[in-house]
Structure 1
Amino acid sequence: MNTDYNYKITPQEPIRSGFGPQTTAREALDGRLLSGKIAIVTGGYSGVGLETTRALAEAGATVIVPARTPEKARASIADIPRVELEELDLMDPASIDTFAKRFLDSGRPLDMLINNAGIMAPPLMRDARGYESQFATNHLGHFQLTALLWPALKQARSARVVSVSSTGIRFGGVDFEDPNFERREYDKWKAYGQSKTANALFAVGLDKRGQAQGIRAFSVHPGRIMTDLARYLSPEENAIGGIYKTTEQGAATSVWCATSLLLEGKGGVYCLDVDIAEVIPAFDLQGLGQVLTGVLPWAVDANLAEQLWKLSEEMTGVKFKS
């Protein structure tokens, strides 16, 4: 097992938070008030994202919710206070540029960025650049968005970035030689696993670069939840058993990572069930029904995080400004 965490300040091991799998997003706040705080939650209008938005807003934060089609998302957030709906398409670099510019032009600091939006196991699709859709949406779009919002995160002086990963990391790591399935046959689950591993590695690399400026990064596995994320799955795939969480429980780890005082001075770690996960050895990873009790080594490896960072800069043409 690779345990090369050569710049990780926070050990990848549980801190005994006192919470667990049944903890809800509201409970994870532990009574903390967020008045005056600004958050962006991508995909914050449905599923786990919606409950993340609700918990943060009801605690007093102003939450910006970007959506590819804002009018379709409006009804879902209508009853939540302090929510601003914006337009953003993570598959479209120009749309990301435009959204980020609008936010920066507002002059506001950004206290919490929760990169929650994603797609899972679609048929092979590509964006305008020819990039495979899961890697483009789940990772590259969020990489570009975070880079462009970096000045606002620094302005907050104590910001947190949360990348929503998944137990999908079990399907494998990032194929640095062929991330877009140009030379190998497309496998929707390997592509999903690649993108979710990238989400976790992004938090490792981001935390390294942000901690000196008060920006800490985390990745989370929300748990198994039945949401619209599964819209591309067959009835047989959707029928796989296991313990499911509610969306309120699924949002808990994201909310905890974005707000908890227990995580002060920590970052660059993968979290699940409202605690930091332990690293577990790789095992027989075939099948959709398996439950991971921790994080697999390739999703938190420091050297792989640096390799991904370089690849992401090359593929997006975007670099973080110091």
Structure 2
Amino acid sequence: MPFNQVPIGTGFNASTTAEEAIGQTSLAGKTAIVTGGYSGLGLETVRVLAQAGARVIVPARSPERARAALEGLPNVEQEMLELSQPESVDAFALRFLASGRALDILVNSAGIMATPFARDARGYESQFSTNHLGHFQLSARLWPALRRAGGARVVSLSSGGHQIAGIDFDDVHFERRAYDKWVAYGQSKTANALFAVALDALGAPEGIRAFSVHPGSVLGPLARHLTPEEIATFGVHDANGQVIVAPERDLKNVQQGAATTVWCATSAQLDGLGGVYCENCDVARINAAGSGERGGVRPWAVDPDLADRLWRLSESLTGTQLNGSP
């Protein structure tokens, strides 16, 4: 297990907001990319980074929706990207690299959850493809720009949902086992955490540090594939149908939900650290299965050997390696 996967005592907590997490940090002269940055947690992340002075690029699969959501925000550019389409990922990366800019912050925030069974054009299961493989390819293609920054951070949104399932390396795309939308989601979120472990190991010598994040339970666009009955089982509404905000129970609003992402992307408290899974603006504790405790990270999501195995599988599935040209 990673020796640094232990809380560091930051002084923050589950109620901390993204604005509180960034504090007085100035990002003037910095460039960030935030996938999914036009709704929910991604949009709040963009707002706070831009407010701190960063130039933020928001690649989106729906340019019209993105333009409407981002209207009025300073220091923000909107781009086209469909994570499940490799050619779209390559095209976006080429356009960014051609600008000659360094990339200081990459936030892999876009994702889907508990979707009906679907495959991408390559035949890959859609949640694994969108949540993990698309961001794997994007990060690898943007590697030259991350290196150019001389101290970049890559933050990937995992979830407490990683506790549902690890990676089934024998049937990652549900070709032989029955499809379960929650198992598929859990597998993809474990992949997000393992990706940070492997990327950090490769990137640290280049000054590139990687983190994964559990943002908390925030009712938002990610739940669009759930029925009202399914949402009700999570206990997120009170008797009057209002959304409950109770961060001590991991039920957060958007401002609180974006806090750990912003903290991982900007905080000096993480200088010298990387490859860790974070929650509530701190490094999470390892929580073994069967402990009965809430929160924390399962051992299978921070295991370096599993991270290396997933990295090699991802290279094979995407045909992408670090420093490879699009």
SS at match of 1:123: coil
User: Which whole-Å deviations, capped at 9, do the CAs of 1:30-74 have from their partners, x for residues lacking one?
Assistant: 210100100000000000000000000000000000000111211
Supply the distance in 2 between the matched residues of 1:292 and 1:127 (Cα, whole angstroms).
Answer: 34
Aligned equivalents of 1:321, 1:98: Cα separation in 2 = 16
Is 1:221 aligned to 2:228, yes or no?
no
| 1:97-123 deviations in Å (ceiling 9; x for gaps) | 000000000000000000000000010
1:166 matches 2:168: no
How far 1:292 moved relative to its partner?
3.0
Match of 1:83 among 76, 88, 110: 76
The one-letter amino acid paired with 2:191 is A
What corresponds to 1:294 in structure 2? Answer: 296
Structure 2 residue aligned with 1:276: 283
RMSD value, Cα = 1.2
Residue aligning to 1:241: 235
Unaligned residue ranges in structure 2 (runs of 5+): 237-248
Q: TM-score, normalised by structure 2?
A: 0.93
Name the residue aligned to 2:39. Answer: 46
Residues in 1 aligned to 2:148 and 2:109: alpha-carbon distance in whole angstroms? 22
- Divergent runs of 4+, >4 A: none
Partner deviation per Cα, 1:231-276 (whole Å, 9 max, x = no partner): 0112121112154211111000000000000100100000000000
Residues 160, 295 of structure 2: 8 Å contact kept: no
- Separation of aligned partners in 1, 2:94 and 2:61: 16
Q: Would the aligned equivalents of 1:115 and 1:163 in 2 still touch at CA under 8 Å?
A: yes
- Larger CA deviation: 72-81 vs 123-132: 72-81
Judge conservation of contact 1:52–1:254 (CA < 8 Å) in 2: yes
Query: For the residues of structure 2 that align with 1:190 and 1:277, how far apart are their CA atoms?
Result: 22
Residues of 2 paired with 1:293 and 1:312: CA distance? 27
Distance, in Å, in 2 between the alignment partners of 1:62 and 1:159 is 14
Give the Cα separation in 2 of the matches to 1:237 and 1:188.
Answer: 13
Tell me, what secondary structure is at the counterpart of 2:211? Answer: strand
Equivalent residue, structure 2, for 1:94: 87
Q: How many residue pairs align between the two structures?
A: 310
Please give the secondary structure, in 1, of the residue aligned with 2:68.
helix
2:296 alignment partner AA: G
Q: Deviations over 1:128-163 (max 9, x none)?
A: 000000000000000000000000000000000001
2:286 corresponds to 1:316 = no
Q: Which residue of 2 is the match for residue 18 of structure 1?
A: 11
The alignment partner of 1:15 has SS state of coil
Which of 164, 167, 177 is the aligned partner of 2:170?
177
SS at match of 2:5: coil
Query: Residues of 1 paired with 2:24 and 2:290: CA distance?
Result: 39
1:264 matched to 2:271? The reply is yes
- CA positional deviation for 1:284: 7.7
The residue identity in structure 2 corresponding to 1:249 is: Q
Q: 1:303 maps to what in 2? A: 305
Is contact 1:67-1:85 (8 Å) kept? yes
- The answer to whether the Cα contact below 8 Å between 2:162 and 2:301 also exists between their aligned partners in 1 is yes
Task: Return the alpha-carbon distance in structure 2 between the equivalents of residues 109 and 92 of structure 1.
Answer: 24
- Deviation of 1:320 after TM superposition, in Å, equals 0.8
Give the secondary structure class of the aligned counterpart of 1:114: strand
Counterpart position of 1:288: none
Partner SS for 1:52: helix
The 8 Å contact of residues 31 and 105 in structure 2, kept in 1 or not, is answered as yes
The 5 Å alignment of 1:84-123 reads: 84-123=77-116
Percent identity between the two aligned chains: 61
Matches within 5 A, 1:30-69: 30-69=23-62
CA contact (8 A) 2:218 2:257 kept: yes
Q: Are the counterparts in 2 of residues 167 and 292 from structure 1 also a CA contact under 8 Å?
A: no
Give yes or no for contact 1:34–1:61 (8 Å, CA) kept in 2.
yes
Give the secondary-structure state (helix, strand or coil) at the position aligned to 1:66: strand
Distance in 1, matches of 2:63 and 2:203, equals 31
Q: Deviations over 1:197-224 (max 9, x none)?
A: 0000000000000000100000000000
CA–CA distance in structure 1, aligned partners of residues 155 and 176 of structure 2:
32
SS at match of 1:19: coil
**Structure 1, 298-307 or 66-75: larger mean CA deviation:** 66-75
Q: Which amino acid aligns with 1:279?
A: I
